[in-house]
Amino acid sequence: FKQLVMTNVQSTYQTYVEALKKEGKFDKEAQEKALSRCVNNVKKTMPDATRKWLSSNHQDITEVIKQMIESCIKESKDNGKN
């Protein structure tokens, strides 16, 4: 699951965030849009088995995905990738 999320975080950064940062346009609204895009992409690419496991162990799958995205972003920043 973590690798799936990290792949989507990197993809969102490369296809959306990076250009906005270069233009100085990565504001709060753009940040929220990037998060929403990433959450939706994770949901689209998530295997059914993962979705079922998350559903049976967590009340709010979206919140779990958001938390993992934030964790992956922090890890990526700590490793100097963003």
Q: What is the pLDDT of residues 6-51, one digit of tens each?
A: 999 999 999 999 999 999 999 999 999 999 999 999 999 999 999 8
What burial class does residue 37 get, using C-beta atoms within 10 Å of its C-beta: 0-12 exposed, 13-18 middle, 19+ buried?
A: middle
Question: What tokens were used for 48?
Answer: 């059914």
pLDDT of residue 77: 82
Question: What tokens were used for 61?
Answer: 């799958």
pTM of the model: 0.83
CA angle (52, 54, 58) in 5-degree steps: 130
The type of residue at 14 is Q
